[in-house]
Structure 1
Amino acid sequence: MKKLLVFFLCLLSFASIKAQTSISNTKTTVASPDSNVNFRLYQTNNRWTFLKLDTRTGVIVHVQYSTDGDAMQYELNSKLLSEGEDAKPGRFFLYPTENTYNFILLDQIDGRVWQVQWNIDKENRGIWQIY
C-alpha cells in the first residue's frame, strides 16, 4: 500500500512539473545565421502578427497578414536608433518576453536596450528605452 501511495505521489509531482514547464508562451526566435542581414522577421504569439526589424537602424514594423485581403504594416518606431556609418547590418536584435505584446530590443554594439510593445491600438504600442 505504501509503495502504491509513493508511486502516485511521484506521478502527481511529475505531472505538476510538466504542467508548469508547458505554460510558457514565449516564442523561440530562430535568427538567420548570417549576421549581415538588413532585416529580420520575428514571430509573435499572435498567429497573424510578425515584427520586421531593420537590424541596421532599429526601426520596427508590425506586419499583420490576412487570409481575406486585410493585410497591413505599420511602424512601431520611426526614430532611427543608429544612423550613417553606425547603422551596420545585424546591430539590433529582438528578444521575446513572457508577455505576448512585449519584446526587448538590444543594440548588440553598445548594449542599449528598449522595451518594444506591439498592439493593434495605436495608443497601446511603442518603444521605450530602458535606462
Structure 2
Amino acid sequence: MFAGVTGYSVIFGLATALDTLCAQAVTGSDNQYAAGIWLQRGLCILSFCLIPVVVLWLHTEDLLLLVKQEPQLAALSGVYMRYLLPGLLPILVFECLKKFLQSQGIYNASTMILLVVCPINALLNYILVWRSPL
C-alpha cells in the first residue's frame, strides 16, 4: 500500500496528462512531431518527479519508525521498498509509451507487450520465491 500511495499513484496520475496532450497533438496540430515532443517532455518531467519518491522509498524504515511502527516491520518494509525501486523507471516508461500509442489509435501494443511479459514475470516470481536462497 505504501508503494501504491507514494510511488505508483504519482506515475499513473502524472502520466494521465499525456492522454490529453498527445491526443490533441495528434488530432489538432500541424506539427507531425508534436506528440513525440510531448512524450519526451512527459518522460523527463516524470523522471524528475520520481526523485522525491526514490528518496522516500530509500528512507521507508526511518519514516515507519518515526510513526511508531514495530522495528522489525519497519526494517522488512524498508528492504521490500528497496527491492521495488528498480521497477519504478520501467513502469514510468511503459505508462508514457502506452499513453502515446493510445493517442494515435494503437491500442493493441500494450496488450501484446503484457501478454509477453506476464509469463516471464510469473516464471521469475516462481524462481525467485521458491528456488532462490534469498
Question: Do the structures match in fold with TM over 0.5?
Answer: no
**Structure-2-length-normalised TM-score:** 0.24
User: Who wins on radius of gyration, i.e. which is larger?
Assistant: 1
Name the one with the larger helix percent. Answer: 2
Bigger fraction of residues in strand? 1
